[in-house]
Amino acid sequence: MKIGRFEIEQLSEGIFEVFEDGTIHKVHSEDIAHPTTDLEGIRVSSVLIGIDPILIRDGKHNVLIDTGLGWGLDAKSEYENTSNLKTNLDIFGLTPHDITHVVLTHLHFDHAAGSTYVDLFAHTQPTMDYANYFLQKKEWAFALSQVDQPLLAKGGNYDLDELYKLAADQKLVFITDARFELLPGIELIRTGGHTPGHQIVKIHDAGETAYFLGDLLPSEHHLNHYAMKQMDVDPLQSKKAKTLLLKQAYEEGAVLLFYHSIHTKAGRLMKDVDRKYVLEDVK
């Protein structure tokens, strides 16, 4: 998809089933309709999500937003033949070395685990070795404060062991501004809510606009109602930020990109006759 000079791709790692205890496994598209049952045939409570990091290219820069699950990146990984950053970048003739900037919306493992991998000598390495990783200072501080604490919100798992290495290598850029221009036309906006340091990305060029709203708006199903109460650290702030951003995006005729959608992964924000938000196909 084109937004002004930017070429935007969604790097899909597939569809995953997430269970109440936080375990996650990959599902094949033909199994989506069949709910998982336990040994006694009782339906197990789970949700299906996609995992879709974003690649933005403008000919000079290759910007990656969120880094996926990182399955199959480690030298001795148990995962084989799985889609990850490497295999997905390869489709566009790129490798992780070609990434110039990494943006992390927040540090939950499903958004940040692909940031590093373990090499043959059992050393943690940055996956995108030439890039800096841009995140909110508040997010880092909050993640550190959650180590050894009971989970505040469902799915809010931080796995910081590997990220300490990025910090030690000075690969992390801690943003203190609520709005930060990463490049002309790419702006990071702190929203809080889902986590205190959650940020989203606005892409704007030549009169065209797109938003990647991270876990503030994980999929198309969250457009017209707020259903993240159990997932958000500050539900009220999430709802407020989401309402304001959607209003803004609608006025701008913007395209929305989703990280966790299974079906509609992107669309132009419109309203139907009932004044409800709908998405229109973008080519």
Per CB under 5 A, contacts with Zn ion among 141-180 are none
Q: Between 126 and 214, name the residue whose CB sits nearer to Zn ion.
A: 214
Stretch that binds Zn ion, among 20-28, 64-72, 133-141, 208-216 (CB under 5 A): 208-216
Strand partners, 15: 27, 50
Judged by CB under 5 A, how many residues of this single chain contact Zn ion?
Answer: 2
Q: Between 17 and 215, name the residue whose CB sits nearer to Zn ion.
A: 215
DSSP state letters, 201-220: EEEEETTEEEEE-GGGS-SG
Structure tokens at 243: 């309402």
Q: Between 75 and 151, name the residue whose CB sits nearer to Zn ion.
A: 151
Where are the alpha helices (H) located in the chain, listed in sequence order?
A: 85-91, 109-112, 137-146, 161-168, 235-251
CB of 10 closer than 8 Å to CB of 203? no
Task: DSSP letter for 35, please.
Answer: -
Residue with tokens 């006694």: 40
Q: Between 127 and 238, name the residue whose CB sits nearer to Zn ion.
A: 238
Query: Taking the complex as a whole, how short is the minimal distance between the CB of residue 215 and Zn ion, in angstroms?
Result: 4
Structure tokens at 141: 């501080």
Does residue 139 bind Zn ion (CB under 5 A)?
Answer: no
Per CB under 5 A, contacts with Zn ion among 214-253 are 215
Residue nearest to Zn ion (CB): 108
| Secondary structure (3-state) at 270 | strand
Q: Which of 101, 108, 222, 260 binds Zn ion (CB under 5 A)?
A: 108
Phi, psi of 245 (to 5 degrees): -70, -40
Q: Between 6 and 142, name the residue whose CB sits nearer to Zn ion.
A: 142
Query: Taking the complex as a whole, how short is the minimal distance between the CB of residue 157 and Zn ion, in angstroms?
Result: 9
Residue among 276, 257, 267 at smallest CA distance from 65:
257
Query: Taking the complex as a whole, how short is the minimal distance between the CB of residue 84 and Zn ion, in angstroms?
Result: 19
Q: Is 24 left (phi over 0), alpha (psi -120 to 50) or beta?
A: beta
Strand partners, 277: 271
Query: Taking the complex as a whole, how short is the minimal distance between the CB of residue 109 and Zn ion, in angstroms?
Result: 9
Q: Between 13 and 215, name the residue whose CB sits nearer to Zn ion.
A: 215
Stretch that binds Zn ion, among 13-21, 50-58, 90-98, 210-218 (CB under 5 A): 210-218
Stretch that binds Zn ion, among 18-26, 28-36, 38-46, 101-109 (CB under 5 A): 101-109
Task: Give me the residues that bind Zn ion (CB under 5 A), please.
Answer: 108, 215
